[in-house]
Amino acid sequence: MQPYDAIAVPPNSELMGGNPIRILDLTDDDDRTYIEHLSKFALLSYQDKEGASYEFHDLVKCTYWVDSCTSKYVPGNNYPFDPTKYYITFKAKAKGDPSSSPKTFQAKLVVDELNRKLAEKDKPTSVEECRICTEYWLPFSVNLKV
């Protein structure tokens, strides 16, 4: 299973030493607005690298990873130790062609949550990956042996 396709986290999984990838609830307006912003940022990065021209259409889903050893385990620490990694699936259309069907994109972004909350810019958000999902893309790892 890839991080873009996380399942619901079992209760107390952090206590067993795991830092699971979690599903982000996109029904929350603030979260949805923020993830749309990150999606558009990733799409701009894709366009710069590929020379393509797309415009954001809609969010499909989002998962994220954050160090679970935060304020719950360290007194006085209200921020994650490591940056948060967002795995976003979204749709975008070719710019200037309203009749085009949307393509599905997947992007991995790394956001330093402490700096985001404090509005500091010394550790900017980075796009580690942004790609168009093709019909041949498999949502899980496959080990093929001949």
Burial call 37-68: b when 16+ CB within 10 Å, e when fewer: ebbebbbebbbeeeeeebebbebbbbbbbbeb
3-state secondary structure of 53: coil
**What is the per-residue pLDDT for 21?**
81
What residues does each domain of the chain span? 3-132
**What is the per-residue pLDDT for 42?**
95
pTM to 2 decimals? 0.75
**What is the per-residue pLDDT for 49?**
93
**What is the per-residue pLDDT for 137?**
47
> Under CATH, what is the fold of the domain 3-132?
Nuclear Transport Factor 2; Chain: A, (3.10.450)
Query: Are 137 and 4 a contacting pair, CB within 8 Å?
Result: no
**What is the per-residue pLDDT for 81?**
57
pLDDT digit string (tens) for the chain, length 146 residues: 577 776 666 665 555 555 678 888 899 999 999 999 999 999 999 999 999 899 999 999 999 887 655 444 445 555 555 678 999 999 999 998 878 899 999 999 998 765 555 555 556 788 999 999 875 444 444 444 44
**What is the per-residue pLDDT for 32?**
94
